[in-house]
Amino acid sequence: MEEKTKTHWHDRTYKKLLIIPAALLLFSIIYLIIFSSTNGALFYKDISLTGGTSITVYDEDINLEQLEVSLTGQLADLEIAKIYELTTGNQKGFEVKTTDDIDKTKELLESFLEYEIEDGINSDSRTEGSSFSEGFYKQLLIAILIAFLFMAIAVFIIFKTFVPSTAVILSAFADIVMTLVLVDILGIKMSTAGIIAFLMLIGYSVDTDIMLTTRILKRKEGTINQRTFGALKTGLTMTLTSLFAMSIALIIVSSFSATLTQIFTIVVIGLGFDILNTWITNVSILKWYATKKRK
């Protein structure tokens, strides 16, 4: 009786539920168009993609709030991050990122610290050229497009049917677009690691969609609803397990690695949207298609 109640509810509402992800996807696309026209890119970029200077100083006694007050207004696109000891959580030093040149950055830092900073002794520094960073940025975007294209080709080869294949691709596309919008809203400056995280997200997005499509269209036992709810149990277990593991990893690395923090943050956000897009968008389209095909 309980299964019939659940099935009846879903049969009546699954088409209406499509309004939620459709509205969210439309908002996301409009937001990205406006954001891109305003900022010249789809997301905020850090110095690994714009070019600039990064200096890490190993000084555990510096008050970073005072440092930020001192450097704000003097260095462009300033970012200051604390560096922690992994095992104890104690401060080991700090990292300063800016789009200004390295000589100006060092001069201002030394003025605040009141001592000389030297590479390999009490600091490390690196400079990214703007032309190199821009070229690398374009190559990474091309890599994402190629990965998405090959994913789409593989999906069409597997299912050989337009509607189910398009549903899988649409869900993956929505995961990426919605995640990107939230990253922009949170003000996260994307590094090369962040773009790589979006490559990972393509894989995470597609696996549950392929499993769902295979269960509904290629398995013959049970009704469409029974196959759908069976896939739901398996898929949610997969996604929630990954989400839990990534969330724990994010908590651990957030104290000492900005690069890993960005990767795990993007993947966690993407997995959250994947639940929405797989189990509302893809399920609704596939159920609609399978029901029409059966009739």
Query: What's the pLDDT tens digit per position in 266-284?
Result: 999 999 999 999 999 999 9
Determine what percent of the chain is predicted with pLDDT higher than 70.
92
**How buried is 211 (Cβ within 10 angstroms: 0-12 exposed, 13-18 middle, 19+ buried)?**
middle
| Of residues 2 and 134, more confidently modeled | 134
> Quick one: residue 160, left, alpha or beta (phi over 0 = left, psi -120 to 50 = alpha)?
left
Q: Other CB atoms closer than 10 Å to residue 274's CB: what's the count?
A: 29
pLDDT of residue 132: 55
What value does the mean pLDDT take over residues 3-14?
Answer: 64
pLDDT of residue 133: 60
Answer yes or no: are the C-beta atoms of 224 and 287 closer than 8 Å: yes
pLDDT of residue 182: 97
pLDDT of residue 246: 93
* Digit-coded pLDDT (tens) for 232-258: 999 999 999 999 999 999 988 876 777
Confidence of residue 167 (pLDDT cuts 50, 70, 90): very high
3-state secondary structure of 151: helix
Indicate whether 8 pLDDT > 80. Answer: no
Domain 52-128 matching CATH 3.30.70: the answer reads yes
* Matching fold, domains 2-45+131-294 and 52-128: no
pLDDT of residue 88: 66
Q: How are beta strands 44-45 and 189-190 bridged, if at all?
A: parallel
Indicate whether 160 pLDDT > 90. Answer: no
pLDDT of residue 203: 86
Distance CA 158, CA 49 (A): 36
pLDDT of residue 87: 64
What value does the mean pLDDT take over residues 177-191?
Answer: 94
* Digit-coded pLDDT (tens) for 60-88: 888 888 888 889 888 888 888 877 766 66
Confidence of residue 40 (pLDDT cuts 50, 70, 90): confident
Answer yes or no: are the C-beta atoms of 49 and 192 closer than 8 Å: yes
pLDDT of residue 3: 45
What value does the mean pLDDT take over residues 2-25?
Answer: 76
Instruction: Find all residues with CB under 8 Å of 210, minimum gap 6, and list them.
Output: 155, 158, 168
The domain spans of the chain are 2-45+131-294, 52-128
Task: Look up the CATH superfamily of 2-45+131-294.
Answer: Multidrug efflux transporter AcrB transmembrane domain (1.20.1640.10)
